[in-house]
């Protein structure tokens, strides 16, 4: 009886091992297939979703170009009371920057810093074409009567946002600012002080 039992046992073991191999093979193939197909699809979906999300973000976010940090300017601009303004008696000056945003229509605004003692003339350009020109408003109706020794508290500079209209822009367009100094009240004047421009996407 014993030899028969051993033979039966060995036969049963060989069957078991054979079936284990085939089960292993089955799972191997299944794993490989799932891993390749799954990871490929997931990575494609994730990339597409990320790009779409970034594109949406780009097209809805405002862009601010800082007068100090983002524009290249002629040498006669300096920090004047917190804004970028012309050095006294240095004449007019220009600044340019490349538009960094996506192609589209943008409402362009410029933040200027007005003074009590002069209306600086200015221009905003896109690729050399004037899109806005004018003179700074006065910060105070006192005008030349503002006491010089106390102008910072009596008739201080005031920030004003100027609407330059909606324009079609593309990456690399040259955004320009030109300003001039004026002296209607004596040796102290207005220096075309400004802070920067904001570009708001218009659907
Ligand atoms: Ca002034």
pLDDT at 54: 53
Q: Residue 89 domain-assigned? A: yes
Q: Is residue 35 part of a domain?
A: no
Ligand 1 centroid–CA 78 distance in Å is 14
Q: Which SS3 state, helix, strand or coil, does residue 87 take?
A: coil
pLDDT at residue 6, as a whole number: 46
For residue range 95-148, list pLDDT tens digits in order: 999 999 999 999 999 999 999 999 999 999 999 999 999 999 999 999 999 999
Cα 190 to ligand 1 centre (Å): 5
Any idea what the CATH number is for the domain that residue 183 is in? 2.60.120.260
User: Cα(111) to centroid of ligand 1, in Å?
Assistant: 17
Domain count, the chain: 1
- Domain for residue 36, yes or no? no
CB under 5 Å of ion ligand 1: residues: 115, 117
- Is the Cβ–Cβ distance between 120 and 171 less than 8 Å? no
What is the mean pLDDT for each group of 10 consecutive residues in the chain (203 residues)? 47 44 41 38 49 55 97 98 98 98 98 98 98 98 97 98 98 98 97 98 95
pLDDT of 31 reads 40
pTM over 0.75? The answer is: no
Domain assignment present for 20 = no
Q: Is residue 24 part of a domain?
A: no
Distance 85 CA to ligand 1 centre (A): 10
The alpha carbon of 192 and the centre of ligand 1 are apart by a number of angstroms equal to: 9
Tell me how far apart the alpha carbons of residues 154 and 116 are, in angstroms, rounded to a whole number: 10
pLDDT of residue 60: 74
Cα 74 to middle of ligand 1, angstroms:
20
Task: Give the per-residue pLDDT at 7.
Answer: 45
84: helix, strand or coil: strand
What DSSP string describes 5-30? Answer: HHHHHHHHHHHHHHHHHHHHHHHHHH
Residues 6+ apart with CB under 8 A from 45: none
- DSSP summary character for residue 143: G
SS3 185: coil
Question: 193 with 137: CB under 8 angstroms?
Answer: no
Structural domain for 101, as ranges: 62-201
């Amino acid at each position: 009886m014993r030899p028969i039992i051993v033979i039966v046992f060995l036969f049963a073991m060989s069957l078991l091992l054979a079936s284990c191999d085939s089960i292993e093979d089955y799972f191997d193939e299944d794993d490989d297939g799932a891993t390749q197909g799954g990871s490929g699809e997931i990575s494609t979906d994730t990339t597409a979703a990320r790009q779409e999300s970034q594109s949406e973000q780009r097209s809805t976010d405002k862009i601010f170009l800082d007068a100090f940090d983002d524009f290249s300017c002629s040498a006669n601009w300096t920090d004047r009371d917190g804004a970028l303004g012309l050095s006294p008696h240095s004449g007019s000056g220009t600044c340019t920057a490349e538009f960094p945003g996506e192609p589209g229509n943008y409402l362009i605004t410029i933040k200027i810093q007005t003074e009590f003692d002069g209306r600086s003339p200015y221009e905003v350009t896109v690729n050399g074409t004037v899109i806005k020109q004018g003179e700074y408003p006065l910060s105070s109706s006192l005008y030349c009567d503002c006491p010089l020794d106390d102008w910072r508290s009596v008739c201080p500079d005031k920030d004003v946002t100027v609407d330059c209209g909606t324009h079609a822009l593309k990456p690399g367009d040259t955004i320009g600012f030109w300003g001039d100094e004026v002296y209607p009240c004596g040796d102290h004047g207005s220096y075309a002080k400004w802070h920067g421009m904001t570009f708001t996407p218009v659907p």
